[in-house]
């Protein structure tokens, strides 16, 4: 793990040595003897914290503070002053300094201030990264699709985000129901409020009531203190109930009332609490059929199904498969630091042929696995999982061809024809590349590149002794 870096500037050699002694065990310490040197080092390197004397030759502490704030606002600055006046300290804080040390100071005091500054910088960086992740992942751009079915889904999601209605998202496992719920939340007026997700099927039946509604001290054995439930945690924000069909029937009565009245009563409590929560639910089962089978309460179903959105399985939007595959290849390639140009034609054909019972989640796993096992510039068929390779055939079904653009079909046809020609050429020349290049009227090196691109090995066509 990289150690935090601290830059210390002071014109007193004893102060610089003191900080090296105080911080040297846990931090990388760099020192500067005047403001000019300090600014040069700050500009050239990456530091978590800068500690600078207010009065230094070259550039004083306030000049350093202002320049660092302008050029590197994420760096925390601590000022040292021999003049422990309130106006100087107040001015330093107003200028944006994290804190100040007054000479003479205790070593433990200096260490503590630096530790807190480093932690603050870490938390600020973490918050910034989280914000970027949210903006990049949950504002519809991770839900990829150009098919009419997905365009209809996007339209419904935009409409849902503009209201505060209760939403029920249905769809098979792996279609992206939680991602859709997050996208709706972060596109709504509640975007800066909590998003609390709970998998109703993953919590034991004996615990789910206290998890949702909370409990008060003494409500049951082990309840040593009051605890807020998930509905309270989501107050002013969104509560996402995944696999809502798994809610126990006994709890459905209480949850129906909580949803209707927007109140919760913790287990063991005598009073109810008001909550302002938007509920988004998701299910991969037919809740209407569950109602008919008396496995799910009808009143709760209608409470949840105010704004229904169905996410189609991947096999119903095959025109999105190649688009999704390209998107996931780029995203995971960047994450893993692997540069890949695309897919070999046989791999594309296999992706189109496969029915994807695990939907987008299965496609994503297949792409990640392929990137891990292949070092080719274009992912070959051999890198795909076995079950997907088995789906590959020489000719896609007519229904699949009609889902593609004319250009995509022409690309597939060209690649297939090229491969068949090269195989025939290698057979005719018994794997002799020089002879084959002459027959094809092309350079030998160019033929080698084509053979490599299509995964054709000349040695497979040579006569065995």
Q: What percent of the chain has pLDDT over 70?
A: 87
Chain centroid to CA 354: how far?
A: 26
For the chain, helix, strand, coil in percent to 5 are 50, 15, 35
Q: How confident is the model at residue 137 (pLDDT cuts 50, 70, 90)?
A: very low
Q: How confident is the model at residue 410 (pLDDT cuts 50, 70, 90)?
A: low
pLDDT single digits (tens) 424-441: 888 888 889 889 999 988
pLDDT single digits (tens) 286-310: 999 999 999 999 999 999 999 999 9
pTM of the model: 0.56
pLDDT single digits (tens) 193-219: 999 999 988 888 878 888 899 888 877
pLDDT single digits (tens) 336-380: 888 887 888 778 878 888 889 899 999 999 999 999 888 888 888
Pair 97, 89: CB distance under 8 Å = no
Q: Which of the pair, 394 or 439, is modelled with greater confidence?
A: 439
Question: Rounded CA gap, 280 and 242, in Å?
Answer: 8
Residue 399: what pLDDT? 44
Contacts of 209 (CB under 8 A, 6+ apart): 251, 254, 267
pLDDT single digits (tens) 153-193: 999 999 999 999 999 999 999 999 999 999 999 999 999 99
Dihedral angle sign, alpha carbons of residues 397, 399, 402, 404: negative
């Amino acid at each position: 793990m990289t150690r935090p870096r601290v830059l210390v500037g002071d014109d007193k050699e004893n102060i610089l040595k003191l900080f090296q002694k105080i911080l040297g065990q846990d931090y990388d310490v760099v020192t500067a003897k005047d403001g000019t040197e300090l600014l040069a080092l700050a500009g050239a390197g990456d530091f978590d914290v800068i500690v600078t004397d207010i009065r230094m030759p070259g550039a004083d502490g306030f000049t350093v503070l202002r320049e660092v704030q302008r050029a590197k606002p994420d760096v925390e600055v601590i000022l040292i002053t021999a003049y422990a006046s309130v106006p100087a300290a107040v001015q330093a804080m107003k200028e944006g300094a994290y804190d100040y040390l007054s000479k003479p100071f205790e070593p433990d005091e200096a260490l503590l201030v630096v530790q807190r500054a480093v932690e603050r910088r870490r938390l600020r960086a973490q918050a910034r990264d989280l914000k970027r992740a949210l903006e990049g992942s949950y504002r519809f751009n991770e839900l990829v699709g150009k098919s009419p079915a997905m365009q209809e889904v996007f339209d419904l999601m935009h409409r849902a985000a503009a209201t505060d209605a209760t939403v029920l998202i249905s769809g098979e496992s792996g279609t992206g129901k939680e991602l859709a719920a997050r996208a709706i939340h972060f596109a709504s007026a509640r975007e800066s409020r909590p998003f609390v997700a709970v998998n109703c099927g993953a919590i034991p039946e004996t615990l789910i009531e206290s998890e949702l509604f909370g409990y008060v001290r003494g409500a049951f054995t082990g309840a040593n203190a009051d605890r807020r439930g998930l509905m309270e945690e989501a107050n002013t924000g969104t509560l996402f109930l995944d696999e809502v069909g798994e809610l126990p029937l006994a709890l459905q009565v209480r949850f129906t009332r909580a949803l209707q009245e927007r109140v919760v009563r913790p287990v063991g409590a005598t009073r109810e609490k008001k909550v302002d929560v938007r509920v988004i639910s998701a299910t991969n089962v037919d809740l209407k059929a569950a109602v008919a089978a008396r496995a799910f309460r009808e009143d709760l179903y209608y409470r949840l199904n105010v704004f229904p959105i169905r996410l189609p399985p991947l096999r119903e939007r095959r025109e999105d498969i190649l688009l999704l595959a390209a998107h996931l290849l780029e995203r995971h390639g960047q994450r893993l630091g692997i540069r890949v140009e695309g897919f070999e034609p046989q791999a594309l054909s296999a992706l189109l042929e496969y029915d994807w019972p695990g939907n987008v989640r299965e496609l994503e796993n297949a792409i990640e696995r392929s990137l891990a096992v292949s070092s080719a510039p274009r992912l070959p068929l051999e890198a795909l999982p076995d079950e997907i390779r088995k789906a590959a055939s020489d000719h896609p079904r007519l229904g699949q061809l009609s889902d593609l653009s004319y250009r995509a079909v022409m690309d597939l046809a060209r690649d297939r024809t090229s491969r068949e020609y090269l195989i025939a050429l290698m057979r005719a020349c018994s794997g002799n590349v020089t002879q084959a290049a002459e027959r094809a009227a092309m350079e030998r090196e160019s033929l080698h590149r084509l053979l490599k691109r299509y995964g054709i090995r000349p040695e497979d066509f040579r006569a065995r002794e």
